Amino acid sequence: MTAERKAGDITAVRRVINWLGLGLFALLGVAAVVPLFLIIGDVYIKGIDAINRLGGLWHFLTGLPPTPYEESGGIGPMLVGTLYMTVLGALLGIAVGFPLGVYIGEMRREKFSNVARAGVNVLVEFPTIVIGLFVYAVMSLAKEDLNLYLLDPLSRTISPVGGWITQFIGPLDGFNAYAGAAALSIIMIPYVALITASAYSSIEQPLREAAYATGGREFNALFVVLRKAVSRAVITAALLGTAKIAGETAPLLFTAFGNFYYGPFTGPTAAVPLWVWYAAQTPYEVQIASAYGAAAVLLTIILTIFIIARIRG
């Protein structure tokens, strides 16, 4: 009799603790996610209002940014710059990140592979501004010779193609889109590599053996037979990595620099996050508004990529 009553008391106390404890965890968990809604709400409410005030969606997506004394404006050059640098950065990021990921995921027994993996871990959340500085330093070293020996002659040979080619290929200015894309790709490579590596290392041994057995050459086994097993993860990695670098600001500060106009990619290039960074810190209403509009556009791009990645994966 006494034993039952005792057990009942303890259970009651434990039950209360259970509810309180789980409640606390739930509160903390929700607290982690609530700011997301606050931020998305704030950006869209102010951003959509700003886009309407600044001339409507089409004008906002194609027009030039407003001076402090104008009433309307847009982020046309920024959008183009972001698209160009993100696509280039993502292509390079996947092109190098994927094989790298295969290396550190599949060939784990090699010492060098572990060294490479450590390197990837270090690089994956390196302060992005430092990566921008690195590209800035390399660019400063390389620019003059690069222009002199490679790009000047190159642009002269291909100029018959048409004037438009100078927008893409030609002697580089100190700040240009390619430096920006390079910095972005250095950020994306470790990210893609890690997810690829984890996809490959989570393949169960029997499946791997089967792939090697039926696949013939190792190349076939790894990339053709196993592709279904890893493609989901790799595509998700590619999409999420692209979303990540589309939103990066710090690495572009000293590489792409920013521009108010549609300019050649061999010169300073605009980017949406750079504009938000700059315009939000001005005391001019019209520019702050355009920062919110730009943030709304950026958020939409990222959300779209994110949702596509989630649906596919």
Considering only residues 150 to 189 of the shown chain, the ones binding other proteins according to CB under 8 A are 150-152, 170-175, 186, 189
Closest CA to 207 of 191, 190, 218, 221: 221
Burial class (CB in 10 A: 0-12, 13-18, 19+), 158: middle
Specify the residue, 15 or 58, whose C-beta has the smaller distance to other proteins.
15
CA dist., res. 312 & res. 213, Å (int): 29
Task: Tell me which of 27, 45, 161, 213 binds other proteins, using CB under 8 A.
Answer: 27
Residues numbered 203-242 forming contacts with other proteins, rule: CB under 8 A: 217-219, 222, 240
Q: List the interface residues with other proteins, window 34-53 (CB under 8 A).
A: 35-36, 38-39, 42-43
> What is d(CA 80, CA 65) in angstroms, rounded to the nearest whole number?
13
CB of 283 vs other proteins, minimal distance in Å: 4
Cα angle 23, 25, 26 (rounded to 5 degrees) comes to: 65
Does residue 276 touch other proteins according to CB under 8 A?
A: yes
User: Which residues face 257 on adjacent strands?
Assistant: 269
What amino acid occupies position 49?
D
Tell me how far, at minimum, the Cβ of 299 lies from other proteins, in Å. 6
Distance CA 117, CA 100 (A): 9
User: What residues numbered 96-155 form the site for other proteins, per CB under 8 A?
Assistant: 96, 99-100, 102-104, 106-107, 110, 112-113, 115-116, 118-123, 125-131, 133-134, 137-147, 149-152
Alpha carbons within 13 angstroms on the beta-carbon side of residue 165 total: 12
Task: Report the C-alpha gap between 286 and 132 in whole angstroms.
Answer: 30
Binding-site member from 267, 289, 290, 293 for other proteins (CB under 8 A): 267
- The residues in 53-72 that bind other proteins, with binding defined as CB under 8 A, are 64, 67-70
CA distance 162 to 160: 5
Find out whether 77 and 264 touch, Cβ atoms under 8 Å: no
Member of 81, 93, 180, 273 binding other proteins (CB under 8 A):
273
Q: Is 167 exposed, middle or buried (0-12, 13-18, 19+ CB in 10 A)?
A: middle
Q: Residue 1 or residue 28: which is nearer to other proteins going by CB?
A: 28
Task: For other proteins, give the closer residue by CB, 96 or 210.
Answer: 96
Nearer Cβ to other proteins, position 57 or 119? 119
- Span near other proteins by CB under 8 A; candidates 20-28, 52-60, 83-91, 204-212: 20-28
Residue 82 CB, nearest distance to other proteins (Å)? 11
Interface with other proteins (CB under 8 A), residue total: 125
Q: What is the DSSP string of 141-159?
A: HHHHHIIIIIIHHHHHHHG
Q: Provide, rounded to whole angstroms, the least separation between the CB of residue 58 and other proteins.
A: 18
Q: Among 9, 12, 15, 300, which residue sits at the site for other proteins (rule: CB under 8 A)?
A: 15
- Min CB(106)–other proteins separation in Å: 8
Distance from the Cα of residue 187 to its chain's centroid:
8
Q: Nearer Cβ to other proteins, position 113 or 229? A: 113
